[in-house]
Structure formats: C-alpha cells, structure tokens
Amino acid sequence: MSDEEYQAYRAAWWKEFPCRCESACLGQEPPGRRPRRVRIFVELPEEPPQLTPAAARTLLSILQKAVEKQKREAEADGSSSAR
C-alpha cells in the first residue's frame, strides 16, 4: 500500500469509525503514517473450538511456518545491521 493509498484509507477510517470518547480520547485510530509492518489483531473466543486431527495438523503447520519466517527475518535484520 502506497503512502497515498494509506492516507485515503485513514480518511475513510475516520468516516467509518468516528471518535466517540469525547474529552478522554483513547487514540483508537490508525497511525498517522503507514506502518512498516502489518499488525494483525486476533480476537480469541472464550473456549477454543474443537479441531479435527486434520485441522490441528494444518494449524500446527501454519504456526511452524510463521515461526520459521520470523527467525529468518530476525537473522536477516541482524546480518544487515552487522555490516
């Protein structure tokens, strides 16, 4: 997303979700500039859903790949800053 696209998104966000906290603003808005990394917020239910064995294996695979990706990114950041 380009900076111009992000500014358009931010303007649309304000129209969709206007601030209702009056004098005690909670700052529930997108940041002024486009973040470098995407933040993902996950809302978890009170009770975990029942998973089939196949679904559990798939979820485990996804989580393992995410951890491997984070490690690779951390190593790449560390090696680029060492130069």
72 located within any domain: yes
Q: 18-46 b/e with 16+ CB inside 10 Å = b?
A: eeeeeeeeeeeebeeeeeeeeeeeeeeee
Tens-digit pLDDT profile for residues 15-65: 776 666 655 555 555 555 666 666 677 788 888 778 899 999 999 999 999
What's 71's DSSP letter? H
44 located within any domain: no
User: 1 pLDDT exceeds 60?
Assistant: yes
pLDDT for 57? 94
pLDDT for 2? 77
**Scanning the structure block, which residue is given the tokens 């933040």?**
39
Q: Are residues 57 and 83 in the same domain?
A: yes
43 located within any domain: no
Number of domains in the chain: 2
pLDDT for 52? 92
| Host domain of residue 15 | 1-36
pTM: 0.38
Q: Are residues 2 and 32 in the same domain?
A: yes
- Per-residue pLDDT averaged across 65-75, rounded? 93
